[in-house]
Amino acid sequence: MSNRLTRWWHANAPTRESLEHNKFLAPVAHRVLEPSLWRFTRRSVPRGVALGLLVGIFLLIPGIQIAGAALLALPFRANIPLAAAMTFLSNPATTPLILWASVYIGNWMLGRSADANGFMALVDGHATIGQWCAWLFSEAAPAMLLGLALISIGCAVVGYFLADWIWRHRMGRKWHARKFRIGKCHESSALEEIAPV
């Protein structure tokens, strides 16, 4: 399973070069490409996961998600590749579910009965800016935006703590294995000293 995830990561994760050529990031490319933002550390990994989920779920606009996650990673000193990669969790397969859940949660919180059909019609019909502005003042817009905000914040919090736990667990296993190897080396060297020549 981990080999499959590693292969997927290497195939789909944004590279420094791809972000360097992104037109949305051109004004801040020198900051985005700072080496410390590309290292995998105990603090930067959970931050990158959380920011990627927050931006990826709330924005739902391909292309802008990656740029938004990379820009938001700057002030939080988060891992940029992870932040950008986590935006892929909202994709054409998961977006309808996210939209349905956001409308459902928003309706429940606001006591409304809006549905997402109008939004999907605008997306499918390639709506104009005027049509989008009209939708923003409809009953469905506040419910969907509140639901998206709650889902993205909830996923970001869960992602942060899950990534932190996984990081600590992996590092703990590495340290344990290292201690075990060192102990075996000391034990074998002690046996060699005891053994008769």
Band the pLDDT of 14: cuts 50, 70, 90: low
pLDDT at position 197 over 60: no
- What value does the mean pLDDT of the chain take? 83
The rounded distance, in Å, linking the Cα atoms of 92 and 60 is 10
Rounded percentage of the chain residues whose pLDDT exceeds 90: 28
Full-model pTM: 0.74
pLDDT digits (tens, 9 = 90+) for 63-111: 789 888 988 998 999 998 899 889 988 888 898 899 889 989 998 998 8
Q: What's the number of CA atoms in the CB half-sphere (13 Å) around residue 75?
A: 3
Residue 44's pLDDT is what?
Answer: 93
Nearest Cα neighbor of 148 from 93, 103, 117 is 103
pLDDT at position 172 over 80: yes
CB-CB contact of 86 with 126 (8 Å) = no
pLDDT at position 159 over 80: yes
What are the sequence ranges of the domains in the chain?
2-194
